[in-house]
């Protein structure tokens, strides 16, 4: 199912209008005794809750169908380990870039947070969240969530790690039962996934309203100071994504796959352009497969299998972005950038990014889930949503390029010849 979305220019206009509306209305102005700020707050929260409504079913069904697809490909058992090692390695490297960027610019993040505290401007209506987040986390309890004793309780309390772990087991196990029940189960979860995509499509129809209200609320409460904060976040994220895409991945292609990075970039250019404009790895998938098979000359055996798997399991840019975003938001609440905090956010970013759907702004769901997992309010994502449209374009392009690199690496490790001829 294709996700429909407003044009980039329309979203740009909406963001600009949201900024202007927030600055001029402030927190006090209103009509008939109702402040505009309260209207922004209500509609913004409704939009966030609508996204959260589909987040868990979308993640579960995505993971289950992806694992089931891998498990039933019996002829590819020999390369499954290579695929997963490649996926995990590239995701881990992107995460390291994200960690490095936040460490290098840690003082700037802290300065931005200090500015908010000094001006006593509250971003989110959760006055006790800082104290709660600081003391309400136990690492042992977090690890125990990997294997939930009560699935309904895990779903109710949004213990995402346990739900994803269960989904991995379930997706694998349902391919090992008798043919008919296995087909019924797999078709059911495919149907759930497609239905969640459909609901997401409906929710995204209200994206302009949601973005306008969230942006307006943010600028109504913090004013133009938000531009300084978002400027650092934007800069750190863009430098991190470009460093990973233009430095790390070419080095891996050159050293591990022993192919020319420039040739690979030229071969994948149509897919990269499509990814940049659609902001959807799923929508780009047909073009990605075509580029890998007909331009990069990867065999259909691999070019038809690895990209679809990678569209949900190899979202390296998502893990990088999620880490920077959550660290940035937590810094505004005064959460100390300790090793334990970084470890928690890094683990969640890496693990959850391998199950996110390849749809526009799908990464925001992951960020909200991680925020909730560390006891921060999901609606605090409003701080970064104004720039997400721009970052989503670069993030999707990086994810598609990462997936294509994974395919070429596995193909070379399998001994395929004639890959990436001169174009």
pLDDT digits (tens, 9 = 90+) for 183-210: 888 889 888 878 877 787 787 778 788 7
Mean pLDDT across 119-141: 43
Average pLDDT rounded to a whole number, residues 33-44: 84
Q: In this predicted model, which residue has the larger pLDDT, 44 or 241?
A: 241
Confidence class for position 3, pLDDT limits 50, 70, 90: very low
Q: For residue 89, is pLDDT > 80?
A: yes
- Average pLDDT of the chain to the nearest whole number: 76
Q: Which residues lie below 8 Å from residue 347, measured CB to CB, with a gap of 6+?
A: none
What is the spatial distance between Cα 30 and Cα 262, in angstroms, rounded to a whole number? Answer: 56
- Using 50, 70 and 90 to split pLDDT, how confident is the model at 113? low
Query: What residues pair up with 35 in beta bridges, in sequence order?
Result: 30
In this prediction, residue 18 carries a pLDDT of 82
pLDDT computed for residue 121 by the predictor: 46
Q: What is the pLDDT of residues 285-306, one digit of tens each?
A: 777 888 888 888 888 777 777 7
Which is more confident, 413 or 388? 413
- Bigger pLDDT: 243 vs 279: 243
d(CA 315, CA 397): 11
Q: Are 309 and 69 in contact (CB under 8 A)?
A: yes
Residue 370 confidence (pLDDT) above 50: yes
Domain spans of the chain, in order of start: 8-413
**What integer is the mean pLDDT of 28-50?**
81
Q: What pLDDT is recorded for position 243? A: 95
pLDDT at 5: 52
The CATH code belonging to domain 8-413 is 1.10.3860
Query: Would the pLDDT of 271 be above 70?
Result: yes
User: Looking at residue 136, what is its pLDDT?
Assistant: 42
- Provide the pLDDT for residue 125: 41
């Amino acid at each position: 199912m294709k996700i429909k979305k407003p044009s980039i220019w329309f979203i740009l206009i909406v963001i600009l209008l949201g900024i202007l509306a927030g600055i001029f209305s402030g927190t006090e102005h209103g009509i008939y005794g109702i402040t505009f700020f309260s209207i922004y707050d209500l509609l913004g929260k409704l939009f966030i809750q609508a996204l959260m409504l589909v987040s868990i079913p979308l993640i579960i069904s995505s993971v289950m169908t992806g694992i089931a697809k891998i498990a039933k490909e019996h002829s590819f058992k020999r390369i499954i380990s290579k695929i997963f090692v490649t996926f995990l390695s590239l995701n881990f490297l992107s995460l390291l870039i994200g960690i490095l960027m936040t460490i290098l610019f840690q003082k700037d993040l802290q300065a931005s947070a200090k500015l908010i505290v000094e001006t006593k401007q509250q971003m989110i209506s959760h006055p006790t969240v800082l104290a709660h987040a600081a003391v309400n986390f136990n690492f042992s309890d977090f690890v125990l969530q990997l294997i939930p004793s009560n699935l309904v309780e895990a779903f109710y309390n949004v213990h995402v790690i346990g739900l994803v772990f269960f989904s991995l087991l379930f997706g694998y196990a349902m391919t090992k039962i008798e043919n008919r029940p296995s087909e019924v189960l797999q078709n059911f979860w495919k149907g759930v996934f497609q239905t969640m995509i459909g609901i997401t499509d409906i929710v995204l129809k209200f994206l302009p309203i949601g973005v306008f209200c969230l942006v307006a609320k943010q600028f109504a409460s913090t004013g133009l100071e938000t531009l300084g904060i978002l400027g650092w976040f934007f800069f750190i994220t863009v430098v991190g994504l470009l460093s990973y895409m233009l430095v790390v991945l070419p080095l891996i292609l050159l050293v591990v796959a022993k192919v020319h990075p420039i040739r690979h970039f030229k071969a994948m250019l149509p897919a990269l352009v499509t990814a940049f404009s659609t902001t959807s790895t799923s929508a780009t998938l047909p073009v990605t497969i075509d580029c890998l098979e007909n331009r990069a000359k990867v065999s259909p055996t691999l070019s038809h299998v690895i990209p679809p798997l990678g569209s949900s399991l190899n979202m390296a840019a998502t893990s990088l972005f999620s880490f920077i975003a959550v660290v940035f938001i937590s810094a505004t609440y005064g959460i100390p950038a300790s090793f334990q905090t970084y470890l928690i956010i890094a683990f969640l970013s890496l693990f959850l990014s391998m199950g996110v759907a390849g749809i526009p702004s799908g990464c925001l769901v992951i960020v909200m889930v991680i925020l909730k997992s560390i006891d921060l309010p999901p609606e605090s994502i409003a701080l970064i949503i104004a720039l997400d449209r721009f970052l989503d374009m670069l993030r999707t392009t990086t994810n598609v390029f990462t997936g294509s690199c994974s395919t070429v690496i596995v193909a070379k490790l399998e001994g395929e010849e004639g890959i990436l001829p001169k174009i």
